[in-house]
Amino acid sequence: MTKTFPSISIPALDDEKGKMAADYIDTLTKPPGSLGRLEELAIELASMTADPFPQVTRPGVIVFAADHGVTAEGVSAFPQEVTGQMVRNFLNGGAAINVFSKQINAHLRIVDIGVASDIDGEGLTRAKVRYGTANFCKENAMSEEEAIKAIEIGYKQGKEMIQKGAKCLILGEMGIGNTTTSSAILAAISGKSVADLVGQGTGISVDTMIHKQQVIEKALHERKPDVSDPIDILSKIGGLEIAGIAGAMLAGANSRIPILVDGFICTTAAVVAKMISSRAADYMIVGHRSMEPGHEAAIQLLGKKPLIDLGLRLGEGSGAAVAFPILHSASLMVREMATFSSAGISNKE
């Protein structure tokens, strides 16, 4: 916990409820362990929710959108204005996350936490901290006060989604340049070389990728973030949507709500949330393994194992939404399967 961010109480996992779920699963009409990781997930969900028969529906999806000043360095395949254009696409229901949210019957909220332009549109949550971050190659991305405000906005959005009835949180993002920002954050925290973390993002050339690595290395040298202080890291080389996602994750953990973590950017935000409060990670399940090389390093920092690996690298929360039915299956298994006793079936004893 940093000195600058207010303390958030996160409860310990309820291991007793997890054991109750494990014992009950062994009475279901199947050989012990035959549903593999679904059984492990059901036990994890029981411990998180303090309910041996956990529910994960309906899920709540929150997509945070913000711009990054570092795009001025030519690190992305797309211009900055695409962030705002994609937010309009979200509002019009045309993006992947709209399709997958509808598929899983999720509540969906789009939050402008720092887009560089003004956006009008029905259904948009306006919570802009500032019009994009500054170019962290030349100056700090934002002030510490702005970083804290972005986390607090994310926390509030997470709490509101939970109050709407969300039993699982899926966080997504939109922000041209945010793989650069995430790579910088991860390089600072992990100590790994930038070259090992930086990929081709939305489809940049090899030359641009090398340039992107050099931009990040220069930024880390110039900004010198305190690797033990998540607020300092966010203020110097962070993104507003990354801070917002971290805040929403803290809200989920505070309320015993499972957090299904998306790809590279969201997992980087999860690492930041874990730095703010280590117990936050107890409530996280990584939905998928991204194609971004830095994602593996972020997953390792969380100590997690992804549910699926489909070669995804879109963001928006899309991979987590696609993985959600696996969580739902684990929940339904323990809630709806018959036991040997109730079905009148002889078990191996």
Rounded (5°) CA angle 237-241-244: 105
Which DSSP string corresponds to 54-121? ----SEEEEEEEE--GGGGGS-SSS-TTHHHHHHHHHHTT-SHHHHHHHHTT-EEEEEEEE-SS----
Going across the sheet that includes 107-114, the strands are 124-126, 107-114, 59-66, 168-174, 259-261, 284-286
Rounded Cα–Cα distance for residues 113 and 66 (Å) = 6
Answer whether the bond into residue 58 is a cis peptide, omega within 30°. yes
Rounded Cα–Cα distance for residues 282 and 297 (Å) = 18
Rounded Cα–Cα distance for residues 197 and 213 (Å) = 9
Query: Does residue 311 come out as left (phi exceeding 0), alpha (psi in the -120 to 50 range) or beta?
Result: left
Rounded Cα–Cα distance for residues 241 and 111 (Å) = 9
Judge contact between 113 and 65, C-beta under 8 A.
yes
Judge contact between 147 and 241, C-beta under 8 A.
no
Place of tokens 């930024």: 219
User: Is residue 16 flagged as an active site residue?
Assistant: no
Judge contact between 172 and 97, C-beta under 8 A.
yes
Contacts of 285 (CB under 8 A, 6+ apart): 41, 44, 258, 259, 260, 261, 304, 307, 327
The single-letter code of the amino acid at 174 is M
- Which residue among the candidates 44, 241, 316, 336 is catalytic per the annotation? 316
Rounded Cα–Cα distance for residues 343 and 302 (Å) = 40
Residues labelled catalytic: 316
